[in-house]
Amino acid sequence: MKELNINNENVIIRKTEKSDAKALVEYLSYVGGESDFLSFGAGQFGMSAEQEEEYIEAVLKKDNALSIIAEVNGKVVGNLNFNAGSRQRTEHTGEFGISISKAYWGYGIGEELIKYMINWSKGSGIIRKINLRTRSDNERAIKLYKKLGFTEEGTIKRDICISEKFYDSLLMGMLID
């Protein structure tokens, strides 16, 4: 767990618990409508609280997966999920997804969530590579990822389609050694 004071508010970053499932589903259903940079839109998250609870439980049982949230006054304002491979040859590498509520953009919460994941990865004894995929026009995110040590590894053309418009995705990675 990590506590921060941002804009005179106490922000707690901690591992997700099964009891967070309902609040997390509500948050993700809402945050999907705040940005076209996520892999889902408003109301498109597509998981029930029960399904989210099962997902959280599965993550908690793995040594190479992580689910964390940022909360203010008990309200979820950000989350990050990291999942690595399930087979021996790929268990050392995984990909993460992150979201921050628009009201909290620009306060460093996303950076703190990623730093938490990086530190967890270094201490895991398993994770040797972190991957991510972001829209190639998501300049703020790309700048943050580079600042934290991620490097560009490739582009996937026409990876995302929103309202019949295609967007490329940038693949980035970080070696953990």
- CATH number of residue 46's parent domain: 3.40.630.30
CA torsion 110-114-120-122 (nearest 10°) is -160
Note whether residue 170 is domain-resident: no
Domain span holding position 81: 2-127
Q: Which residue has the higher pLDDT, 42 or 138?
A: 138
Note whether residue 165 is domain-resident: no
Note whether residue 158 is domain-resident: no
Q: What is the pLDDT of residues 96-153, one digit of tens each?
A: 999 999 999 999 999 999 999 999 999 999 999 999 999 999 999 999 999 999 999 9
DSSP state of 44: -
Other beta carbons within 10 angstroms of residue 117's beta carbon come to: 22
Residue 31 has pLDDT above 90, yes or no: yes
Question: For residue 129, what pLDDT is reported?
Answer: 98
8 A C-beta contact, residue 14 and residue 2: yes
Average pLDDT of every residue of the chain: 96
The predicted model gives 31-59 an average pLDDT of: 93
Note whether residue 160 is domain-resident: no
pTM, whole model, 2 decimals? 0.95
Note whether residue 173 is domain-resident: no
- Can you say whether residue 8 is alpha, beta or left, with left for phi > 0 and alpha for psi between -120 and 50 degrees? left
How many domains does the structure of the chain reveal? 1
Note whether residue 65 is domain-resident: yes
Q: Which residue has the higher pLDDT, 46 or 71?
A: 71
Note whether residue 132 is domain-resident: no
The predicted model gives 78-90 an average pLDDT of: 97
Note whether residue 16 is domain-resident: yes
Question: For residue 6, what pLDDT is reported?
Answer: 87
